[in-house]
Amino acid sequence: MNDGRETEDIMPKKGKKETGGFILNFKKDNIISVIRDIIIISFGLMISSFGTALFYAAELGSSPMATFCDGIHNVFNISYGTANTVANMVLLVVLFFLARNYINIGTVLCVFTIGLWVNLFTPMLSGLLICEWPIVTRVLCTVAGTILMGCGLGLYVAVDRGFGALEGLVKLLCAKKKFSYTKAKVIQDIILVVGGILLSATWGIGTVIAMLLTGPVLQWSIHFFTPLLNRHRAATA
């Protein structure tokens, strides 16, 4: 994947607290601050989920994780959102036993709410029959889905309340094997895409677009949202 990211490049730098340790951070922070961050995270995840649903509606392939979830959807005949939740729950359990310090309130929200949003948006977009639109329009929908997914995840990460389960495992691989973030991410993406294909997932140009564009969009959105959130925190402190 040609996203050019390193761990330091995409993590918000606020200098106030370290991400990780849900219980510890929750006790330290003011309850109003926690509620505010939950709302912002949920909004980011909603945007990202709409982008994922747009991928599915265009039927040109999707992001590596969405491709893997598409395979689970096909094999077990469950909804896209439920497949996403199941996959993330399994990853969360693995992360809990291997690196529970990466788990925070944002991790939990990511695992248990993305699937709900995807289940909400998928039927809405399916009714538009995007898969029957001209190929150029479908490609544009895929690009739009990538941008929405990257921006939504960027907002979620900028809040600095924990990593998604998948992201946490990538960071763990970096720490244990001394891999660069980019190398670990490439390994992850290959495993997810190959796994999804073996499970009969739809893949194609949308998968390539997602792998190439998600990283740059995510990095830009984190750098855009982090100072905005910091200024808001300073103004309301």
pTM over 0.85, yes/no: no
Instruction: Residue 113: give the domain boundaries.
Output: 17-232
Evaluate whether residue 146 is within a structural domain: yes
Evaluate whether residue 93 is within a structural domain: yes
Evaluate whether residue 119 is within a structural domain: yes
Evaluate whether residue 1 is within a structural domain: no
Q: What is the pLDDT of residue 47?
A: 97
What confidence tens digit (pLDDT) does each residue in 32-44 have?
888 899 999 999 9
Q: How many domains are contained in the chain?
A: 1
3-class DSSP string for the chain: CCCCCCHHHHCCCCCCCCCCCHHHHHHHCCHHHHHHHHHHHHHHHHHHHHHHHHHHHHCCCCCHHHHHHHHHHHHHCCCHHHHHHHHHHHHHHHHHHHHHHHCCHHHHHHHHHHHHHHHHHHHHHHCCCHHHCCHHHHHHHHHHHHHHHHHHHHHHHHCCCCCCHHHHHHHHHHHHHCCCHHHHHHHHHHHHHHHHHHCCCCCCHHHHHHHHHHHHHHHHHHHHHHHHHHHHHHHHC
What confidence tens digit (pLDDT) does each residue in 166-222 have?
888 888 888 888 887 777 878 888 899 999 999 999 888 999 998 888 888 888 998
Evaluate whether residue 8 is within a structural domain: no
Q: What is the pLDDT of residue 185?
A: 79
Evaluate whether residue 110 is within a structural domain: yes
Evaluate whether residue 145 is within a structural domain: yes
